[in-house]
Amino acid sequence: MLDNVWLIPLFPLIGFLINGFFGKKIKNEAVIGGIGTLAIFASFLVSCGILLQMIGLPPEQRVFEKVLFPWIHSGAFKADMAFLVDPLSCVMIMVVTGVGSLIHLYSIGYMHGEEGFYRFFAYLNLFCMSMLLLVLGNNMLVMFIGWEGVGLCSYLLIGYYFHKKSAGDAAKKAFVMNRVGDFGFLIGLFTLYWWLGSNHNIWTINFTEIKAASNLLPYGGVVTVATLCFFVGATGKSAQIPLFTWLPDAMEGPTPVSALIHAATMVTAGVYMIARMSFVFIKAPETMMIVACVGAATAIFAATIGTAQNDIKRVLAYSTVSQLGFMFLAMGVGAFTAGIFHLMTHAFFKACLFLGSGSVIHAMHYALHKGHLHDDAQDMRNMGGLKKAMPITFLTFFVSTIAIAGIPGFSGFFSKDEILWQAFANPFHGGLNIILWGIGAVAACFTAFYMFRLVFMTFFGECRINAKVKDHLHESPLVITIPLMVLGFLAVVGGYIGMPKLLGMLPNYFEHWLEPVFALANEYGAKYAHSGGHHNPALEWGLMGLSVVIALVGISIAFTMYVKNTELPGKFTATFPALHRAVYNKWYVDELYDYLFVNPCKAFGQFLWKGFDVIVIDGAVNGVAGVVMAFSGVFRYIQSGLIHNYAWSMAFGVVVMLGYYVFK
């Protein structure tokens, strides 16, 4: 089975080719959707087979590499099209193909009747292929193919409704911001490759080879530079400060896309990349600190914005940014397992939330369409009371909300609590730990607040949709609700494979599974970790309790504001208008970027073109020509055109020359 790992990205590729080339002719939605879904489902089956086989192997043998064909070999540089299967990539392929299959299935229902149905499935398959290349690549360059490939698909899918200007803008913004990150990734790659090569003659970009050589890397110094560059790449792909603004805009794409790409898989690529190179990152304490700080800052920053948005998908988008912040926090404090664990649980509940919101939008859209209304189908202010009309959607959505809010017993609790505990107790950041934990805890409170605000505004209370169309609201078809139910189920139970030791009911399977991957990183980390940490079970219990309390506080505030006393939000806005405006407008980050980068770049380009190219360079060129013209303008008067003038001057010349020789 392991030898067939290349089948995993191959199936979606075939799906893409079939739908891309013939989709337009096939026309039948069931066939197109079926091909797309089956392609990724086949990958899922292969992934399951690989997972089972890996489980059967002893932990130290769970690394397998498969070279498909040589790709770029030049000089000392070698990059093969090759795959790496280890426990980490196993987790990732399971998440990608599993969640991916469900979302493909969902899309058949959701995208029904869309003009570019085949195009959508083709892109979705292409995305899955790229994502699988990203997580399976055994060297940085194959990872980079996937890395850029998912960026491309994200571009294509955000721009799916290309006739809308906002969609085109958002797509471009996403790609360009990702490119800024890619720039960092490339420089990081170059630095690491060059340093290992020139100092130790190990010219490689292969993960296992770098891992083997990682003991040669110094602590800090060049590794800090390289890892910081990689981290820039991660911030681009995973929407962290400062490159996060593309993700909320990316909600212009169809909802399944938001669920698959902008919640469950692609945006976690940065986290995955850090985990994949944990043995390098851990050697740069400064980078670790920056990763942790950026993660924490993003978590709180995005969470605050999330509290004031009215578009259901935008709330979820900021929630995603915030949750990714948690994952980076985990990476930064050396809790790689916890980060990946949160990545997985987040994939379940956030995909469920997005798909649920899609289901809501679908229903809203249908109802509004029936009534010939042009209200915004995504605005929560038009929703409310959907609980009755859409029970399954509500239930799954509610379960996932509890999971993300961090209520014990649901998956999000286990993963998030582990991150917060590690932020507090990790041995790396000293006095900073308490701040990191504090920010994380506050962000968790905000999370609970805005998520429950969303649930209350959408599903509870009065139905605020135009009364005319109220009766048209109905539950979505099975093809949509089945994925919801599966994901909702996973959002509940997904956490039990990684229960903290403290609770002790089940062993922490997840940690054991990933142990061989992160063992080396932990070993390196231990070398400079200050001793002890805060391994006090009582403290851990206390913090766990505290985080539950925090979540409950967030929920109760939301309950007070949006269920019990619905005038409160209005009052609040009236009291602090400036604050609300700033939060509502996303702290004006977009405007700031426009002001700082976009506009100066354009102006500078204009100046270089009209000012430098045309005036300076061409001015010089045309100036030279002008000088020549001016001189010849004087000399041309000699050319009188009168034959006698020529004849006389010739005769005169002859006389002069003869005279010279005669009287010399």
Binding site for other proteins (CB under 8 A): 24, 69-77, 141, 144-145, 147-149, 152, 155, 159, 162-165, 167-169, 171-172, 175-176, 179-180, 182-183, 186-187, 189-191, 193-194, 197-199, 201, 203, 601-602, 604-606, 608-609, 612-613, 617-618, 621, 625, 636-637, 639-644, 647-648, 651
What counts of helices (H) and strands (E) characterise the chain?
A: 28, 2
Judging by DSSP bridges, how do beta strands 64-74 and 77-85 pair with one another? antiparallel
Q: How far is CA 343 from the centre of its chain?
A: 12
Cβ atoms of 94 and 49 within 8 Å: the answer is no
Cβ neighbours of residue 595 under 8 Å, at least 6 residues apart? none
CB of 640 to other proteins, least distance (A): 6
CB of 74 to other proteins, least distance (A): 4
Q: Which is nearer to other proteins, 34 or 220 (CB)?
A: 220
d(CA 344, CA 339): 9
Q: Which is nearer to other proteins, 503 or 601 (CB)?
A: 601
Q: Which is nearer to other proteins, 51 or 217 (CB)?
A: 217
Q: Which is nearer to other proteins, 164 or 501 (CB)?
A: 164
Cβ atoms of 288 and 422 within 8 Å: the answer is no
Cβ neighbours of residue 163 under 8 Å, at least 6 residues apart? none
Q: Which is nearer to other proteins, 193 or 456 (CB)?
A: 193
Q: Which is nearer to other proteins, 541 or 609 (CB)?
A: 609
Q: Using alpha carbons, select from 549, 339, 550, 307 the residue that is nearest to residue 441.
A: 550
CB of 177 to other proteins, least distance (A): 9
Find tokens 């006095």 and name the residue.
431
CA distances from 34 to 104, 115, 121, 362, 523 (A): 9, 17, 10, 21, 47
d(CA 658, CA 583): 98
Q: Which is nearer to other proteins, 229 or 484 (CB)?
A: 229
d(CA 612, CA 541): 67
Q: Establish whether the linkage from the previous residue to 242 is cis, with ω within 30° of 0.
A: yes
Q: Which is nearer to other proteins, 153 or 363 (CB)?
A: 153
Secondary structure (H, E, C), 48-111: HHHHHHHHHCCHHHCCEEEEEEEEEEECCEEEEEEEEECHHHHHHHHHHHHHHHHHHHHHHHHC
d(CA 377, CA 386): 13
Q: Residue 520 corresponds to which tokens in the numbers above? A: 């080396």
CB of 77 to other proteins, least distance (A): 5
Q: Residue 586 corresponds to which tokens in the numbers above? A: 């996303």
Q: Which is nearer to other proteins, 80 or 540 (CB)?
A: 80
Q: Which is nearer to other proteins, 71 or 489 (CB)?
A: 71
Classify 201 as helix, strand or coil.
coil
Q: Which is nearer to other proteins, 574 or 656 (CB)?
A: 656
d(CA 188, CA 199): 16
CB of 203 to other proteins, least distance (A): 6
CB of 436 to other proteins, least distance (A): 31
CB of 643 to other proteins, least distance (A): 4
Cβ neighbours of residue 72 under 8 Å, at least 6 residues apart? 78, 79, 141
CB of 73 to other proteins, least distance (A): 6
CB of 218 to other proteins, least distance (A): 12
Q: Using alpha carbons, select from 181, 177, 453, 447 the residue that is nearest to residue 322.
A: 447
Q: Residue 27 corresponds to which tokens in the numbers above? A: 């026309």
CB of 2 to other proteins, least distance (A): 24
DSSP state of 479: H
Backbone conformation region of residue 332, classed left if phi is above 0, alpha if psi is from -120 to 50, else beta = alpha
Q: Which is nearer to other proteins, 144 or 326 (CB)?
A: 144
Cβ atoms of 272 and 330 within 8 Å: the answer is no
Q: Which is nearer to other proteins, 379 or 590 (CB)?
A: 590
Cβ atoms of 333 and 422 within 8 Å: the answer is yes
CB of 657 to other proteins, least distance (A): 15
Q: In this structure, which amino acid lies at residue 52?
A: L
d(CA 31, CA 85): 32
77 - beta bridge partners? 74
Helices (H), 307-372: 312-332, 336-370
Q: In this structure, which amino acid lies at residue 449?
A: F
Cβ atoms of 228 and 287 within 8 Å: the answer is yes
Q: Which is nearer to other proteins, 505 or 638 (CB)?
A: 638
Q: Which is nearer to other proteins, 116 or 385 (CB)?
A: 116
